[in-house]
Chains A and B, each alone.
Chain A
Amino acid sequence: MSSNDDKPITARRFMEELRRYQRGSVTRRHFLGVTGLGAAMAVLGSAVPALKPRAAYAFGDLGDTLAFTTWPNYFNQKNIDDFTALTGVNVQISVFGSNEEMLAKLQAGGTGWDVFVPTNYTISTYNKLGLIDALDTAKLPNYDPASQESRFTGEATIDGKLYAVPKDWGTTGYVINTEKVTGDMTSWKQFWDRTMDDLSGRVMVHDYQLTTIGNALKYFGYSFNSVDPGELKQAEDLLIKAKPHLFAINSDYQPSMRNGDAWMSVCWTGDASQLHRDIPAMRYVLGSEGGEIWTDFYAIPKDAPHKEAAYVFVNFMLDPFVNAREVQAHGYPSTDSKTNALLPDKILNDPILYPAKDLLSKLEFGAAATLTDPLRAEIMARFKSA
């Protein structure tokens, strides 16, 4: 991942020295001598406001671990390392494949998670089930509603209270390997038709009801979020007809796309930009019929064992400098204009991250009802077991 293009060299140098000091490979005297602590802290403070030591978070009362649950390929290891170097808190990362899985584990209880990353349409359910608490914004000085694009953040506010803070946003389209997939691909209709035709055996869909059923609904021009039994029946028939032609039903499509086993897959923004970065022949397509637009959030479970550390972590990740490094690594656009200000034009003009307006306007945010709808869950199960 791109960890070498971090901007302020002084801050980076400082972090390296700090790590060396903490590892014990240099003495405190050397550390202070090399960095000139006071000056360095000033530099660091201006570059990375989140790193400014605050009395409220005198490092040490945070505990030594933090359990962070997120999605695959969704963070910059360098940020995690810096957080640990600064606070002494080790970040234990686990990754999940669907919002349903995260919800199931929180519902069962005993997760020990401190911070997790839910998608927009699930937050109201977490709130209703009492699995998350309203956030104490005083502990999140880096969260500035004014610099956040409001259409991406609305679903985190319930009854005037903030339950989660935005991480990034993205779209769900599909990725094609243009060395193998010829012709102009622009729609979901083409996606499904060619799956059952010349691309048979080379296509992947997510193991995730929202996007798989949603994009099958799009074939017929229905809403991505439909819970109408008649429309869902048509989507199910399409899925079952297409199933023998699929390479796999799996949300982890990067390895298979890279390996050449799969030539086309339902795909999220960042995976497409990561794939495109390494293999230029990979192209991202947003179906002309529409599809999903979404926001992912940081949230803190109600029974998080390390709440203080969780707040410090979320606040750290919200820092524009840190967040910009995140975007450069995972390739999902930020919701925060302060972060965007730090990003190079190459990213800000990337059509994978920022699709054309006419494509964007047709996209729908996932609806809360799809998460809990028993029919959609059952259709997904029938599709997989067929």
Chain B
Amino acid sequence: MRWYAALIYAFLYLPIALIVIFSFNSGRYAMDWEGFSLSWYATAFANPLAVKALWTSLTIAAVTAVLASILGTLAALGLERVTPRVRRSFDAAIYIAVMVPGVVIGIATLIAFVTVFDAVNPVLANLLGTAAPKFTMGLPTVIAAHVMFNLAVVVLIVRARLAGMDKSLLEASADLYATPFGTFRQVMLPLLMPAILASLLLSFTFSFEDFIIAFFVAGPNVTLPIYIYSSIRRGITPEINAIGTVVLAVSFTLLILAQYLLRERAPRA
């Protein structure tokens, strides 16, 4: 059993090891080892396009995660109290959102957006003159498309948590004359916290990883996956490996930090 697990971890980490090792390669091509060097880290961080792609992706993923988690949690709570018909249409939307492939979501969203913008922009320009805002494809459109997809995931996660929850707690709280908001803050929120954290983490990951939806709806913006995709086409250099390694190192540090903080608090709970 133990050996089996070790084997699976080796399988999971073999490519990661390659990415990290070759980020220290001094050669130009990812797979020709020519000696140890940190120069690609310098190159990566001096490259405004790479750095901007990283920031663009972090921004999109962070905003998406927060929006999707808040709106999804609210929806999941609200859905407990709607009529079965409303809930059923919501369920359908959720399953379809998960089921439609990213390629289709990407191109269809693009066409829908462009059609709407082409209709709205001239009207706005007529009404407001040169001061009129002009809607174009960009970060907001990527975030919107990502939030839609992740909303479905968040609603599923939060509802799974709600399903296993003891409703008598809420009733007890109401019986003790707590305001609805008080009940929410003091009873509901702590109970939902694990689900909300999982939602944040998952939506961040999905959004940070997405290539195909952003490819269609990001306008001229280059996200990190788009940048990497372009680089793979050109013959990848260790520069990309360096960026990947930094992302990994930061996530690792955050994880260990979280682990440490949670462990400190555990005995008191």
Contact = CB atoms under 8 A, between A and B. Distances in A.
Contact of B136 (A90, A110, A252, A258): A110
Contact of A73 (B137, B219, B234): B234
Interface in B101-145: 107, 110-111, 113-114, 117-118, 136-138, 141
Interface in B40-65: 48-49, 52
B29 interface: yes
Interface string A63-106: 00101000011000000000010000010111101000000000
B29 A258 contact: yes
Interface string A246-290: 000001101100110000000000000000000000000000000
Contact of B137 (A92, A112, A114, A255): A112
Given A108-B107, A110-B137, A258-B29, A94 B113 contact: no
Interface string B69-107: 000000000000000000000000000000000000001
Tier of interface size on chain A: 20 to 34
A112 B235 contact: no
A254 B111 contact: no
A65 B222 CA distance: 12
B2 interface: no
A141 interface: no
Contacts of A65: 220
Contacts of B141: 110
A278 B147 CA distance: 46
A84 B232 CA distance: 24
B233 A94 contact: no
A111 interface: yes
A49 interface: no
Nearest to B134: A305
B113 A258 contact: no
A94 B226 contact: yes
Given A92-B49, A110-B136, A258-B29, A72 B110 contact: no
Interface in B156-203: none
B234 to A, nearest CB: 4
Given A92-B49, A94-B226, A95-B230, A110 B235 contact: no
Interface string B216-234: 1101111000100010111
A280 to B, nearest CB: 16
A109 interface: yes
B236 interface: yes
B246 interface: no
B16 interface: no
Given A67-B220, A93-B49, A110 B114 contact: yes
Interface residues of B, number: 29
Contacts of B118: 109
B56 to A, nearest CB: 10
Nearest to B53: A92
Contacts of A84: 48
B248 interface: no
B247 interface: no
Interface in B4-56: 29, 31, 48-49, 52
B220 A111 contact: yes
A110 B226 contact: no
A358 B182 CA distance: 87
Contacts of A73: 234-235
Nearest to B28: A278
A298 to B, nearest CB: 16
B234 A112 contact: no
A113 interface: yes
A95 B227 CA distance: 9
A262 to B, nearest CB: 13
25 contacts: A65-B220, A67-B220, A72-B234, A90-B48, A92-B52, A93-B230, A94-B222, A94-B230, A95-B234, A109-B111, A110-B117, A110-B137, A110-B141, A110-B217, A110-B219, A112-B136, A112-B138, A112-B219, A114-B220, A252-B232, A252-B235, A255-B29, A255-B232, A255-B236, A305-B220
Cβ-closest 6 pairs across A and B: A67-B220, A112-B220, A110-B137, A112-B219, A109-B114, A72-B234
